[in-house]
Amino acid sequence: MVLSITGFLAGLSFAQGDHRGAPSAPSAPSLESIAVPVGNGKPVLLDGLFAPGEWDDALSVAIHDRIKLLLKVNSGHLFLGLKYEDASGVITDLWLTSDDKTVYQMHSSGQLGEGVLSLPFADKTSEILIGYTKDWDANEIKSDSKKKAEWQAAGRPKEGYRQTLFPSNGKEYQIVLSKFGGRRLKMRLMSGDPKGLVIFPDKTDLKSTDDWLELVLPEREPLGQTPPSVFPVRGGPYLGQKPPGLVPEVFAPGIVSTAEFIDFKGAFSPDGQEFYFYRHALPEIIPLLLFTRIENGVWTKPAPLPVAQGARTYHPCVSPDNQWLFFFWQFLPEQNRPSGFYASARTPAGWSDPRYAGPGMYLTCDSSGRYFTTDSVWGDQPKHYLASTAFSQGRFSRPERLTIQPHYENQTHPCIAPDGSYIIFDINVENGSLYVSFKDKNGDWGEGIDLTKHGFKPDTRGAYISPDGKYLFFSVDGDIWWVSAKVIEGLRPKK
């Protein structure tokens, strides 16, 4: 739904106040620039309650006699809080830009929405797409459905609306810094609270960023970026890394595997020119899909994949013909999108908008295009099966379960060899480990071999075999590791 936001705010006359009056002037002194501090890593739950300790590491500035602005940066995200004297039913619009031309509008009312406009903006009203956000999140106005129904049945009396709302102390935004191209942002705010409309900075407009508040970000690389000293990385296979032997090594330390985040499940394109993986720092930083590729003879800095943002993103997989990118997308119930595998097609302009391709968890494929996944049955005692599936016309077929012992009904994260001759998986138990099963001459899967008995650490998970079959990648201790696939070939049963 597209909404004209100025008209929306101007027409509101909820019980919490009539927003059609003139904006009230801020009582705080005029501000031109603010240096945003680096936080201590304490997470913020975007519920509008400003729980004790969440914002202690933030800069707090009074921007109006009834609004405080709180700011901090953590792990590549800008956390922005607007704490109100009375936050019942507060509606906010936040405009941010890094180049004084392209402006992102972030709207929060009963729903979130986003707009993009170019300055100078001649129209009196700007349009936002309700229900759409990219690289940011915030809390919404929430109401008690039972009380709201009673209020509506009573004819929507003006004085009763606020009684239907759940408590709130304001707005809490989380914004991915890679959405912007620089370390200096310009900010403008329009907000409707019970006492009227507030515009900050006062007398600003959308014709230019003159007099907007400048936010100076700290000199630290955002999430998905790597310290400049690591780059440029020379071209060549495997991000220019020296291949390992029979002893596992951390893969691309400081580039892919980092101390600050948990890095998991990588996938190369079949031609070896691209690499995808995801990282997180839960609960503060949700899983995010990153990519790097060879450009002009060097590997680019890992950066968030533009088409795979807005929700938790896991387990990339590239089709053997290099035409499809798959990943698992996990949405919140209120986002009204199914969680599961999403498929993005390669186009001349890049990856297409992802489309839902079916349920499952963790995807792998061999060089012939046969896919394998985890087929889970959830309940009081969840069961997890390795299963094969096929991809056709944008969807995955119904999975067909594999029968492999031991730990049947508790096997996850399959990894098929490019030639389909063996499959690696992990078992879903505490301190679980990797197993490998080889296919015999009759096409049956042999009993799984516990790799902890062959030098692998317990709690090693998320296996992946390079498209050329030479290297095994896996995740342990928060990093992605790799080792020669000869360690697996050495376990193959003798004919």
Amino acid 10: pLDDT = 36
At position 348, the amino acid (one-letter code) is P
How far apart are the C-alpha atoms of 328 and 339, rounded to whole Å? 7
In this structure, the answer to whether residues 451 and 329 fall within a common structural domain is: yes
In this structure, the answer to whether residues 208 and 236 fall within a common structural domain is: no
In a domain, 495, yes or no: no
In a domain, 293, yes or no: yes
Amino acid 31: pLDDT = 64
Amino acid 231: pLDDT = 57
In this structure, the answer to whether residues 173 and 285 fall within a common structural domain is: no
Q: CB within 8 A of 217, min separation 6: which ones?
A: 36, 73, 78, 177, 183, 184, 185
In a domain, 221, yes or no: no
**If we measure between CA atoms, which residue out of 314, 434, 415 comes closest to residue 373?**
415
In this structure, the answer to whether residues 392 and 467 fall within a common structural domain is: yes
In a domain, 223, yes or no: no
Owning domain of residue 442: 228-489
Q: CB within 8 A of 473, min separation 6: which ones?
A: 251, 266, 463, 464, 465, 466, 480, 481, 482
Buried b (16+ CB within 10 A) or exposed e, 318-353: bbbeeebbbbbbeeeeeeeeebbbbbbebeeeebee
Query: Which tokens go with 227?
Result: 């310290």
Amino acid 9: pLDDT = 41
In this structure, the answer to whether residues 319 and 207 fall within a common structural domain is: no
Amino acid 370: pLDDT = 96
In this structure, the answer to whether residues 192 and 247 fall within a common structural domain is: no
How far apart are the C-alpha atoms of 368 and 372, rounded to whole Å? 12
Q: Determine contact, residues 207/217, Cβ cutoff 8 Å.
A: no
In this structure, the answer to whether residues 303 and 418 fall within a common structural domain is: yes
CATH number for the domain spanning 158: value is: 2.60.40
In this structure, the answer to whether residues 148 and 235 fall within a common structural domain is: no
Q: CB within 8 A of 490, min separation 6: which ones?
A: none
CATH number for the domain spanning 466: value is: 2.115.10.20
Query: Which tokens go with 476?
Result: 């342990």
Domain boundary among 216, 249, 268: 216
In a domain, 77, yes or no: yes
3-class secondary-structure state, position 146 = helix
Q: CB within 8 A of 423, min separation 6: which ones?
A: 372, 386, 402, 404, 414, 415, 416, 417, 436, 437, 439, 445
Amino acid 249: pLDDT = 93
Domain boundary among 162, 189, 216: 216
Query: Which tokens go with 138?
Result: 């915030």
Amino acid 232: pLDDT = 60
In a domain, 148, yes or no: yes
In this structure, the answer to whether residues 250 and 153 fall within a common structural domain is: no
Amino acid 22: pLDDT = 38
DSSP string, 90-123: -EEEEEEESSSSEEEEEEESSSEEEEEEESS--S
Domain boundary among 163, 182, 216: 216
In this structure, the answer to whether residues 10 and 111 fall within a common structural domain is: yes
In a domain, 494, yes or no: no
Low-confidence residues of the chain: pLDDT under 50: 1-30, 221-229
Q: Determine contact, residues 65/160, Cβ cutoff 8 Å.
A: no
In this structure, the answer to whether residues 212 and 349 fall within a common structural domain is: no
How far apart are the C-alpha atoms of 295 and 233, rounded to whole Å? 11
Amino acid 293: pLDDT = 93
In a domain, 128, yes or no: yes
In this structure, the answer to whether residues 187 and 237 fall within a common structural domain is: no
Amino acid 156: pLDDT = 80
pLDDT digits (tens, 9 = 90+) for 20-42: 333 443 334 446 888 898 888 77
Report residue 9: phi and psi, to 5°.
Answer: -65, -40
- Model pTM score: 0.57
